Amino acid sequence: MRDRPARDCGGMRSSAIAVSGLRKAYGDKTVLDGIGFDVAAGSVFSLLGPNGAGKTTTVNVLATLLKADAGTVYVAGHDVATATKQVRAAIGVTGQFAAVDDLLSGRENLQMMAALKRVRSGDQVVMRLLERFDLVESADKMAATYSGGMRRKLDLAMTLVGNPQIIFLDEPTTGLDPRSRRTMWEIVRELVADGTTIFLTTQYLEEADQLADQIAVLSDGKLVAEGSAEELKRLIPGGHVRLRFTDPATYRSAAAALRDVTTDDEALSVQIPSDGTQRELRSILDWLDSTGIEADELTVHTPDLDDVFIALTERTSKEAISQ
Amino acid sequence: MSAVSMALADSAIMLRRNLKHTTRNPVTVFNAILFPIVMMLMFVKVFGGGFDVGVDYIDYATPGLLVMTISYGLGATATAVNDDMTKGIINRFKTMDVSRGAMLTGHVVITTVRCLVACAVIIGVAFAMGFDPNASAVDWLGALGLIALVSFAASWLTVAMGLAAKTAAGAGMAAVPLIMLPFLSSAFVPADTMGAGVRQFVEYQPFTPIIETLRGLLMGGASSGDTIAAIAWCVGLAVVGYVWAVSTFKKRA
**Which of A166, A192, A227 represents a domain boundary (last residue)?**
A227
A137 in any annotated domain: no
A75 in any annotated domain: yes
- Per-residue pLDDT of B213-224, as tens digits, reads 999 999 887 788
Q: Which residues of B touch A103 (CB under 8 A)?
A: 20-21, 24-25
Q: How many angstroms separate the Cα of A225 from the Cα of each of A36, A37, A57, A267?
A: 11, 11, 18, 28
CATH number at residue A192: 3.40.50.300
Q: Pseudo-torsion of CA A57, A62, A63, A66, nearest 10°? A: 50
A190 and A219 part of one domain: yes
Distance CA A25, CA A69 (A): 7
Average pLDDT over residues B141-164: 93
**Mean pLDDT for chain A?**
85
- Which of B9, B25, B96 faces A103 most closely, judged by CB atoms? B25
Other C-beta atoms lying within 10 Å of the C-beta of residue B124: 11
A54 and A180 part of one domain: yes
Other C-beta atoms lying within 10 Å of the C-beta of residue B152: 22
- Of B76, B68, B74, B59, whose CA–CA distance to B36 is shortest? B68
CATH number at residue A251: 3.30.70
Domains of chain A: total: 2
Q: Is the pTM of this model over 0.90?
A: no
Residue by residue, DSSP assigns A68-93 as: -SEEEEEETTEETTT-HHHHHHHEEE
Cβ separation B95–A64 shorter than 8 A: yes
E-assigned strand segments in A237-304: 240-244, 262-264, 269-273, 297-301
Cβ separation A93–B10 shorter than 8 A: no
A208 in any annotated domain: yes
Q: Exposed, middle or buried by CB within 10 Å (0-12, 13-18, 19+), for A95?
A: buried
pLDDT at A2: 40
Report yes or no: B119 and B70 within 8 Å, Cβ to Cβ: yes
Ranges A30-34, A142-146, A302-306: which has the least confidence = A302-306
Q: Is the pLDDT of residue A98 over 80?
A: no
A4 in any annotated domain: no
- Per-residue pLDDT of A134-170, as tens digits, reads 899 999 999 999 988 899 899 999 999 999 999 999 9
A172 in any annotated domain: yes
Ranges A236-250, B69-83, B220-234: which has the least confidence = A236-250
pLDDT at A322: 54
Q: Is the pLDDT of residue A261 over 80?
A: no
Average pLDDT over residues A92-121: 90
User: What is the distance in angstroms between the Cα of B12 and the nearest Cα belonging to chain A?
Assistant: 10
Report yes or no: A18 and A7 within 8 Å, Cβ to Cβ: yes
- Write down the ipTM of this complex: 0.82
A269 and A181 part of one domain: no
pLDDT at A4: 41
Instruction: Give the range of the structural domain holding residue A291, as residue numbers without chain letter.
Output: 239-302
pLDDT at A8: 43
Q: Between residues A46 and B187, which one has the greater pLDDT? A: A46
A58 in any annotated domain: yes
Q: Is A22 helix (H, G, I), strand (E, B) or coil?
A: strand
pLDDT at B253: 63
pLDDT at A3: 42
